[in-house]
C-alpha cells in the first residue's frame, strides 16, 4: 500500500490532548478516498502527515514504504501534493500562467518543456483564457481549479484536497468531479477532506469517517450514508437523496436521483 498509517497518534506542541488517536489506515494506489467528519475530527491533521508537514508523536506513517520521519518535507511534497481549504493563500505570482510556471521551475523542469506543460494544464482546467490575469481576480471556483492545476502540472503521485467544494456552485462542483475522476483514471491517488455529504454521495469514493481523532468507519460511501447513527455521532447529516429514499421506503439497492424519479413517476396516476 502506498500510504500506510500504523497506530498514529498526534498532539500539537504544548498540548496534552491528542488530536489523532491510534489511527490505522491504508490507502492504495489509484484510489479515490474521502476523509469525512465534523470540525475538530482530525481530518486535516491526518492528511498533513501524508506529506510530512506533521510527524506522528506515536506510530508510523509510510509513503511508498518510506517512514515520513526519515525524509525531508521538500522531497515528500514532490510526491504528495496538498491543496488547502483556502487556495488564495497559496498564490504568490502575478498571473495565472506564472503561478503554474513557478511550480515547474521550482521542481527543476527543463525550460523547453515548461510552456507546453503550462498550456496543456491550464487548458485542461479551463483556465487558459485567464492566463494573463491575476489569480486574485478569479472566482472562488476558478481559484480552486488554479490551485489544483498548479500541483497537477508537476505530476504528483498523490493529490490531497482539503474541503474542495467550499464556495463552489453546482456547475463548479460538477467540473471538480470530472477533473478528479480523470486523475483517478490516470492512476493518481486522490484524497478528499470534506464534510460535504451531498458532494461525497454524488462522487461516491471510499469513505473514512473520523470523530475525535479516531476512525469510526472505513468502507463504501453508500453503506455509510444509510447509517444515520454513525453520521449523527460524527456530526454529519444524511444526504438528501438518502433521506428521500428512506421516507419512500426504497432504501434497498442503489440510491440515485434517476431511481427516485422513476419511483415517483411510477406512483403518479395516469391521465387520459
Q: How far apart are the first and last CA of the chain?
A: 61
| pLDDT at residue 144, rounded to an integer | 85
Asked if residue 156 and residue 24 are part of one domain, the reply reads yes
| pLDDT at residue 270, rounded to an integer | 45
Question: pLDDT for 198-242, tens place per residue?
Answer: 889 888 789 999 999 999 999 999 899 989 899 999 999 999 888
| pLDDT at residue 214, rounded to an integer | 96
Asked if residue 166 and residue 247 are part of one domain, the reply reads no
Asked if residue 211 and residue 143 are part of one domain, the reply reads yes
Reading the block at residue 172, the C-alpha cell is 463548479
| pLDDT at residue 254, rounded to an integer | 60
Q: In what order do the strands lie in the sheet with 20-27?
A: 20-27, 3-10, 58-63, 66-67
| pLDDT at residue 203, rounded to an integer | 80
Cα pseudo-dihedral 135, 139, 143, 145, rounded to 10: -130
User: Quick check: 257 and 272 in contact, CB under 8 A?
Assistant: no
Asked if residue 177 and residue 130 are part of one domain, the reply reads yes
Asked if residue 222 and residue 247 are part of one domain, the reply reads no
Q: How far from 259 is each of 173, 190, 210, 244, 264, CA to CA, in Å?
A: 22, 28, 30, 11, 9
Domain encompassing residue 138 = 3-238
Asked if residue 111 and residue 148 are part of one domain, the reply reads yes
In this prediction the pTM is 0.86
| pLDDT at residue 98, rounded to an integer | 95
Closest among 50, 82, 80 to 68, alpha carbons compared: 50
Asked if residue 269 and residue 222 are part of one domain, the reply reads no
Asked if residue 121 and residue 253 are part of one domain, the reply reads no
Asked if residue 243 and residue 134 are part of one domain, the reply reads no
How many structural domains compose the chain?
Answer: 2
| pLDDT at residue 272, rounded to an integer | 43
Residues with Cβ within 8 Å of 182's Cβ and at least 6 positions away in sequence, in order, are none
Which residues of the chain fall below pLDDT 50? 270-272
Asked if residue 247 and residue 187 are part of one domain, the reply reads no
Asked if residue 214 and residue 248 are part of one domain, the reply reads no
Question: pLDDT for 77-109, tens place per residue?
Answer: 889 999 887 777 788 899 999 999 998 998 889
Q: Classify 28 as helix, strand or coil.
A: coil
83: CATH: 3.40.50.300
Asked if residue 123 and residue 247 are part of one domain, the reply reads no
Amino acid at each position: 500500500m502506498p500510504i500506510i498509517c500504523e497506530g498514529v497518534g498526534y498532539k500539537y506542541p504544548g498540548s496534552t490532548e491528542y488530536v489523532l488517536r491510534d489511527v490505522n489506515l491504508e490507502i492504495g494506489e489509484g484510489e479515490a478516498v474521502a476523509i469525512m467528519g465534523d470540525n475538530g475530527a482530525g481530518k486535516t491533521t491526518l492528511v498533513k502527515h501524508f506529506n510530512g508537514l506533521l510527524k506522528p508523536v506515536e506510530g508510523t506513517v509510510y509513503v511508498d514504504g518510506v517512514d515520513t520521519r526519515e525524509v525531508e518535507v521538500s522531497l515528500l511534497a514532490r510526491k504528495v501534493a496538498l491543496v488547502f481549504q483556502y487556495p488564495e493563500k497559496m498564490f504568490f505570482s502575478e498571473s495565472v500562467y506564472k503561478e503554474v510556471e513557478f511550480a515547474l521551475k521550482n521542481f527543476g523542469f527543463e525550460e523547453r518543456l515548461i510552456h507546453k506543460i503550462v498550456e496543456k494544464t491550464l487548458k485542461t482546467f479551463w483556465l487558459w483564457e485567464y492566463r494573463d490575469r491575476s489569480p486574485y481576480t478569479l472566482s472562488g471556483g476558478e481559484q480552486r481549479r488554479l490551485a489544483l492545476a498548479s500541483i497537477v502540472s508537476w505530476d504528483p503521485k498523490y493529490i490531497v484536497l482539503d474541503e474542495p467544494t467550499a464556495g463552489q456552485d453546482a456547475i463548479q462542483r460538477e467540473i471538480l468531479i470530472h477533473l478528479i475522476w480523470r486523475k483517478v483514471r490516470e492512476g493518481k491517488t486522490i484524497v478528499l477532506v470534506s464534510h460535504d455529504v451531498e458532494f461525497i454521495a454524488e462522487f461516491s469514493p471510499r469513505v473514512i469517517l473520523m470523530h475525535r481523532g479516531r476512525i469510526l468507519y472505513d468502507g463504501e460511501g453508500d453503506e455509510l450514508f444509510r447509517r444515520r447513527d454513525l453520521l449523527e455521532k460524527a456530526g454529519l447529516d444524511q444526504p438528501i437523496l438518502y433521506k428521500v429514499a428512506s421516507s419512500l421506503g426504497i432504501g434497498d439497492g442503489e440510491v440515485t436521483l434517476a431511481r427516485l424519479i422513476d419511483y415517483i413517476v411510477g406512483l403518479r396516476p395516469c391521465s387520459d
